[in-house]
Copies of this chain bind each other. A is one copy, B any other.
Amino acid sequence: METFKKKRIEIVIEALVLKRLLEVFEKHQVGGYTVYSAQAGSGKSGAWQADGVISGTSELRVVFCIVDASRVDQVLEPVFKLVSRHIGIVTVSDVDVIRGDQFV
């Protein structure tokens, strides 16, 4: 099948800040995204684990969005600005999609 090259931006971010990240997406007209829950992790800020926690403080979410390569920088900049103030990381990778017009 014919495929089109796109970029996948993946962000790990603390759950409490997710709302703001999604607002950034909306502002920059990201066409779609998917969020899932991380269950544990470790990084500069130490290790954490979601089980049993009630404050939401130490929960993290993973968000990925598929965008066109031409728009990566435009999205990446405000996302990175947000994430770098908080707990989290950002990565970018290559993916192929089937309908190119769906991911802009």
Query: Who on chain B is nearest to A80 by CB?
Result: B98
Q: How many copies does the complex hold?
A: 3
Residue pair A77, B1 in contact (C-beta under 8 Å): yes
User: How many residues on the A side are at the interface (Cβ–Cβ under 8 A)?
Assistant: 42
B-side contacts of A90, CB under 8 Å: 97-98
Residue pair A92, B102 in contact (C-beta under 8 Å): no
Contact of A93 with B95 at beta-carbon distance under 8 Å, contacts A34-B62, A41-B34, A76-B1 already known: yes
- Give 20 pairs: A residue, B residue, CB < 8 Å, sorted on A: A1-B77, A1-B80, A3-B92, A6-B91, A12-B34, A33-B41, A34-B40, A35-B39, A36-B38, A36-B39, A37-B39, A39-B61, A80-B98, A89-B97, A89-B102, A89-B103, A91-B95, A92-B97, A93-B93, A93-B94
Q: List 12 additional contacts besides A39-B61, A94-B94; criterion CB under 8 Å.
A: A1-B80, A6-B91, A32-B89, A34-B38, A34-B40, A36-B37, A36-B38, A44-B102, A76-B98, A89-B102, A91-B96, A93-B93
